[in-house]
């Protein structure tokens, strides 16, 4: 009984191959076509740089003293209606960047800075939908 089932399956498989391949010939060549291949033009502008390097869409906060000198190490925190994000420290140039989606953010100084008067509850706002903010701190 097993031999009959195996032979029946073998015949069904062979019939399937024959039906799919028009006579059972095995070929690795593509069928001939009479239509000419279509040609598409290459884009005229170079989009490679834009695709590999996304533009920075976040926010930049700069902290300086009243003379415009950058203040490094200031803990800056971005806040919106959902709460405040983890603070980040300003670099040697006094700036810190946050890469968040567009929102109604305000900025807090998260911790006091040695030598400067800082009110950690004061809110600093980006003006007119801008994404850059400069905070000026006074020395003690």
Q: What is the per-residue pLDDT across 45-57, written as a single tens digit (0 to 9) for each?
A: 555 554 555 565 6
With contact defined as beta carbons under 8 Å apart, do 103 and 114 qualify? no
Here the tokens at position 124 are 């600093």
pTM: 0.59
Count the neighbouring beta carbons within 10 Å of the beta carbon of residue 96: 22
Q: Is the pLDDT of residue 114 over 50?
A: yes
- What CATH number has the domain bearing residue 73? 2.60.40.10
Domain that holds residue 79: 55-139
As a whole number, the mean pLDDT across the chain is: 76
Angle, alpha carbons 46-47-51 (nearest 5°) = 150
Is 66 within a domain? yes
The pLDDT of 23-34, averaged and rounded, is 50
């Amino acid at each position: 009984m097993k031999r009959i089932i195996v032979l029946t399956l073998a015949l069904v498989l062979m019939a399937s191959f024959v039906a799919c391949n028009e006579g059972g010939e095995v070929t690795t060549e593509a069928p001939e076509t009479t239509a000419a291949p279509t040609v598409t033009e290459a884009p005229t502008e170079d989009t490679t740089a834009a695709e590999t390097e996304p533009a920075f869409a976040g926010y930049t906060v700069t902290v300086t003293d009243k003379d415009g000198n950058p203040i490094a190490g200031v803990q800056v925190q971005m806040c919106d209606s959902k709460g405040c994000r983890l603070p980040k420290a300003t670099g040697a140039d006094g700036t810190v960047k946050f890469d968040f989606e567009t929102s109604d953010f305000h900025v807090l100084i998260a911790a006091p800075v040695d030598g400067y008067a800082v009110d950690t509850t004061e809110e600093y706002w980006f003006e007119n939908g801008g994404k850059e903010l400069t905070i000026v701190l006074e020395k003690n």
